[in-house]
Structure 1
Amino acid sequence: MDLILTLVSGVAWTVVYVEAIRVGLRDRTYAMPVAALALNFAWESIYTAGEFMDGVSPQGVVNAVWAVADIAITWTYLRFGRDELPEFVTRALFAAWSVLVFGTGFAVQWLFLAHFGAHDATRYAAFLQNLLMSGLFIALYADRRGPRGQSLVIAVAKWLGTLAPTLLFGVVEDSPFILGLGIMCSVFDLAYIGLLLRGRAAPAGSRTAGSRPVRSRPVPSR
């Protein structure tokens, strides 16, 4: 049972990352909320290094694959993210903001590691940032006024990828804290899936009319 749940989680989250890269490139935007992306990238980078300190392990390889995928998603954010922001956000401001967000992601992970130790930190940080991501996906849908840069595949795979470790750590390993966080993740994830299904069911004209256009930058005259 433990192995099955671990495999389901690993495959589902890999699908999330691959689909996020594909959708981000397709829609010329980023497909994962940036605060959650920063925490994910930091988590996977730190714990990949930790796993490989004791030799090659299946979890270390999975973490490394996820970290590489996060680099690609981060590239879509850096490439297209400024177009999602108001005009006053210059390149310098966008760069400074990005450094702050990703630096904070690493700082938060190190604080978890220092306070809880590796065993608990990996679980507590993962589920808390997962809950944050679940809420931010709904906020992303609202901010973009529709499903641009989003995907039902991402939503369903994220839900399944979180539900499996919720059962593993919350039920099998009997952790009420993780079980509670996992249940809340499922509530938000199912709500997000419902939003995307509702958007699919809407007439084509109403789906496109509500999406926020990406601002265009004036071309400087020569």
Structure 2
Amino acid sequence: MEVDLMLTLVSGIAWTVVYVEAIRVGLRDRTYAMPVAALALNFAWETTYAVTDFRTGVSPQGVVNVVWAAADAVILYTYLRFGRAELPGFVTRPLFAAWSTLVLGAGFAVQWLFLAHFGTHDATRYSAFLQNLLMSGLFIALYAARRGPRGQSLLIAVAKWLGTLAPTVLFGVREGSGFVLGLGVLCSVFDLAYIGLLLLRPDGAGSGEAGPGEVRGVRGGFRSPPGPSR
């Protein structure tokens, strides 16, 4: 039981670090520090299971879920505030609003489908690890799209890895879930690859700052100076 509590605490602290650092980096770099599809799923997961927990009585995990949901709401603000600048010029404000609503709504729909099909116990685990694996891959894609670490940090990468590794051991090893263990191992593979990218900074990655004649633009990378204002 002490080991289980320790693993739970490691996961909770590490993910809290991820969220706080993502807010800090996003505001600093005037961008969003978590891939939007993963952000939508995370926000939906935390709000859904916070409500579920509080319906059956206040629990420590339910309180943590509320704190995480509040942090994700701030990260979501950074996406809504700065995200449109990451997209091509044809994405108008109404189109950006519609797309953002669709992604966020899809996040909630996915969580509710998991909950309806698997029940609370399994849905919390299966959906969390699947969206975690998605996030791991999308962080690497974000690095590639932005041509470097703008809006990202090594602290986020390491904390995410540890925050996922702990429940992988807890649910995959100690509780004997092969499905969770397999997903957790895949998360570690992608997370370590992402940490390697941030440490090695491959040639051409740079610091994410725009060079002469370039502005930040398409999907977080760079594009030529924009055309007519929109």
TM-score category, normalised to shorter length? over 0.9
Q: How does 1:16-165 map to 2 (within 5 A)?
A: 16-165=18-167
Q: Give 1:202 shift.
A: 6.4
d(CA) in 1 for partners of 2:28 and 2:209? 19
Contact 2:133 2:183 in 1 (8 A): yes
d(CA) in 2 for partners of 1:150 and 1:9? 20
Aligned to 2:220: none
Contact 2:38 2:134 in 1 (8 A): yes
User: Which runs of structure 1 show a deviation greater than 3 angstroms over 4 or more consecutive aligned residues?
Assistant: 205-213, 215-220
Q: How does 1:164-175 map to 2 (within 5 A)?
A: 164-175=166-177
Q: Comparing both structures, which one devotes a greater share of its residues to helix?
A: 1
d(CA) in 2 for partners of 1:25 and 1:209? 15
Contact 2:149 2:208 in 1 (8 A): no
Q: Tell me the TM-score normalised to structure 2 length.
A: 0.90
Percent identical pairs in the alignment equals: 75
Paired residues, number: 218
- Can you list the C-alpha shifts for 1:37-74, whole angstroms capped at 9, x where unaligned? 00000000000001111221100010000000000000
Q: Tell me the TM-score normalised to structure 1 length.
A: 0.93
Q: 1:129 to 1:206 in 2, by over 3 A?
A: closer
Instruction: Provide the secondary structure at the position in 2 that maps to 1:17.
Output: helix
d(CA) in 2 for partners of 1:56 and 1:14? 20
2:18 maps to a residue whose letter is V
Instruction: Provide the secondary structure at the position in 1 that maps to 2:216.
Output: coil
- Runs of 5+ consecutive residues of structure 2 not aligned to the other structure: 218-224
d(CA) in 2 for partners of 1:81 and 1:160? 28
d(CA) in 1 for partners of 2:31 and 2:47? 23
- Can you list the C-alpha shifts for 1:120-171, whole angstroms capped at 9, x where unaligned? 0000000000000000000000000000000000000000000000000000
Contact 2:150 2:209 in 1 (8 A): no
Q: Give 1:214 shift.
A: 1.6
1:35 maps to a residue whose letter is A
d(CA) in 2 for partners of 1:198 and 1:190? 12
Instruction: Provide the secondary structure at the position in 1 that maps to 2:90.
Output: coil
Q: Give 1:218 shift.
A: 7.9
1:138 maps to a residue whose letter is I
